[in-house]
Amino acid sequence: MLDIKTLEGWLWKAACTIRGEVDAPKYKDYILPLIFLKRLSDIYDDEIEKLAKEFGSKEIAENLIEEDHSLVWFYIPENAKWDSILKQSTNIGQFLTDAVRDIARENPKLQGVIDIVDFNATAAGQRIISDNKLKLLIDKLNEHRLGLKDVEPDIFGRAYEYLLRKFAEGSGSSAGEFYTPKEVAMLMAKIIDPKEGEEAYDPCLGSAGLLIKIYLRFKEKFGEDAKVEPLQFYGQEILPGTYAMAKMNTFIYRMESKIALGDTMNKPAFLNKDGSLKTFDIVVANPMWNQDFPQNTYENDPYNRFTFGYPPSSSADWGWIQHMFKSLKEKGRMAVVLDTGAVSRGSGNQGSNRERDIRKQFVEKDLIEAVILMPENLFYNTPAPGVILVINKSKEHKDKILLINASKLYEKGRPKNYLPDKAITQIADIYHSFREEEGISKIVTKEEAVKNDYNLSPSRYVAQNGEDTTLPLEETLVLLKEAEEERKEADEKLHSLLKQMGLE
């Protein structure tokens, strides 16, 4: 199995082969489709090997596949196999472009996914990437196998995250916007604990890592060949390149998935015939923290999502939560990764605070089941810790909330900390047994939450030695934005009053 350090070193060397010809942030546009092409080819070779054992020889297997493409779950024509690409020494750009288009033609699910790059493209009369450089890139990518048993599931998420992080200064984007650390995704999958025949949905899909981990958890529970009703997956992603990656990932794992491209908050893709939002058994997400949506997004919403209140423009966290909640079936459950401030901002302050007021309603209606505080320096786009908020429409423990402080359950990594497997198991076990553990978890009643003005930060209830009370930068910026909004509202009220009094 290709480990992360080897993967990153390999990708860096691959990127270096085309340095100078392509702007750094665009490396991924050429490397990722080629990685996907190689992955498909390696998996296809594994399929042929499997059929060769069944039919007696590789030649017989290949001849049968040519006659009946349905023997394999996807078909790769001869010119698009990695061995054919590797042998090509002239007109490589056109050869690669034809190869990915031929794969897309043979496999309609991959149209608009694998064939989005023209390897032969020019700008101002010059090739964007020369055949010589493409040949170097192909040779470098040939160093590792990428079959199902050779690399971890979300290789494209990891590869994309690494390339984006490596060249972040020129990309204008942040890896954390679409990629959730794999151990956080694994923990969420264990908490959500998928059941037979359920439908799972991620409204800000990224590279589909959360849905893949739910799929793998399902396989772990029921076995690879168990005769159970499969899960169905749905997701929406706003960025075309990331949408293509999600399609690649779910295709590789034969997941029953429907993935849409578009802006979930302003134009959700999955609707019922009457125009209402489709609902799901499971909803998971890691939305971009503290997004800035204009107020009319909430005020003019045709889907009746924001009935608990309108979030401030400074942070869409409770907007995303309300979208996810509205997307839940009658007995559905959801887990969302958020900035820590989402569960505490506004509590203890004088006067009204929109986030606190929305949070208050979720507590009063007994919808919040658990809040899990993550360690710091875990996420790719920030050193700040995050929280996993779990909402369950059919809570077993009424009027109680489980708060887990997992802030110290990490191991040091480079460049980021990570949750070891034993910590993931420990946290999931505490959640499912709904128990208190000294220095880790605390069960609070609704009354206690009310007393603390709906502050649900686990560190408030489960103190640990050397707890850092410094506000993370993201939360400080949100509070500053909120203060600016409040000042603006107060100014408008004052001007209105002065006008009425004839003093202005």
Q: What structural domains does the chain harbor?
A: 4-151 (1.20.1260.30), 176-464+471-475 (3.40.50.150)
User: 268 falls in which pLDDT band (50, 70, 90)?
Assistant: very high
User: 480 falls in which pLDDT band (50, 70, 90)?
Assistant: low
Q: What is the DSSP string of 311-345?
A: PPTT--HHHHHHHHHHTEEEEEEEEEEEEGGGGTT
pLDDT in tens, 359-377: 999 999 999 999 999 999 8
Q: State the pLDDT at residue 71.
A: 92
Shortest CA distance to 76 belongs to which of 42, 101, 41, 52? Answer: 41
Asked if residues 440 and 404 have their Cβ atoms less than 8 Å apart, the reply is: yes
Q: State the pLDDT at residue 337.
A: 96
Would you say residue 439 has pLDDT above 60? yes
Q: CA torsion 359→363→369→372, rounded to 10°? A: 40
Would you say residue 442 has pLDDT above 90? yes
* Mean pLDDT in residue range 63-72: 92
Would you say residue 170 has pLDDT above 50? no
Q: CA torsion 395→401→407→408, rounded to 10°? A: -90
pLDDT in tens, 221-240: 988 766 788 899 999 999 88
Higher pLDDT, 51 or 240: 51
